Amino acid sequence: MKVTVVGAGNVGATCADILAYREIANEVILIDIKEGVAEGKALDIWQKAPIDLYDTRTVGVTGDYSKTAGSSVVVITSGLPRKPGMTRDDLIETNAGIVKSVTEQVVAQSPDAIIIIVSNPLDVMTYQAHISSKFPRTRVMGMAGILDTARYRAFLAEELNVSPKDIQAVLMGGHGDTMVPLPRYTTVAGIPVTELIDADKLDAIIERTKFGGGELVKLMGTSAWYAPGSAAAQMVEAIVRDQKRVFPVCIKLEGEYGISDCYLGVPVVLGKNGVEKVIELKLTEEEMVSLRTSRDHVIEVMNVLDKLSQ
């Protein structure tokens, strides 16, 4: 069992480390375009195997996709962060080119792989990878919902002074400030969260969740990596071990929730075949309005990519 992580930056290296530590695959290939970076980080991860007691072999390579051949799952974290003076369109154009190139090289070596996108802007990069791979939608997905839900649950655990292990939540929509947390489906050990917290405090936590990534950028001057890397690794584990986990995942919708041809986060069953089922919740009209607003925002960004591709 081989898993490839494309991009040996903070997110990719964190993901590879967790995959190795949890022995999710026999071999983890870490690949990057910068000479020596993937090799060094993979070697560092391998050298702590005797300390943390795992057998997964980590191998780093620079630009040689032949080493990734036969991967069951490929996690793509490649791309640039948005820099001062760079417009959203600039970021989309740059990262779409990177994701397109990476996806084509991945597919050539691992035609049966399942692809997980972590690159930003997440929803439109999932779109780019899907059209570049020509894979069924069930085998190309974006990681954002798990991360956003984790932030939401962490903030709730802090406010309620309870274990984050006991909090379950559902979050839908695009990755960003139009995401749609669903308090109606949020529970603490089965107890509806609305019975444990005042509405104004819950609303404040929801707002903090929507801008969770931006909060970290302000604090550190760069984007997060521990939680995103962990979230991607959790998706890989669900697939490799055929766990049938229910996660919010970005996927192309084909009529679910009355939405078609748009890449949005929705709850799915994740197993050895990738997305094995899209779960359709019975949303209220207010929740549907929020989801449609999120859809409109994502389609707007998809349209930018379409125009750039012409």
Residues with catalytic function: 175
Cα–Cα distance measured from residue 34 to residue 244, given in angstroms and rounded to the nearest whole number? 36
Show Cβ contacts of residue 191 under 8 Å, excluding neighbours closer than 6 positions: none
SS3 of residue 175 by DSSP: coil
Cα–Cα distance measured from residue 143 to residue 83, given in angstroms and rounded to the nearest whole number? 22
Cα–Cα distance measured from residue 124 to residue 133, given in angstroms and rounded to the nearest whole number? 14
Residues composing the chain: 310
What count of other Cβ atoms lies within 10 Å of the Cβ of residue 310? 4
Cα–Cα distance measured from residue 45 to residue 27, given in angstroms and rounded to the nearest whole number? 12
How many C-alpha atoms does 72 have within 13 Å on its Cβ side? 20
Cα–Cα distance measured from residue 15 to residue 230, given in angstroms and rounded to the nearest whole number? 6
Does an H or E element contain 103, and which? helix 88-109
Cα–Cα distance measured from residue 172 to residue 152, given in angstroms and rounded to the nearest whole number? 12
> In the sheet that 187-188 helps form, which strands lie side by side, from edge to edge?
167-168, 187-188, 191-192
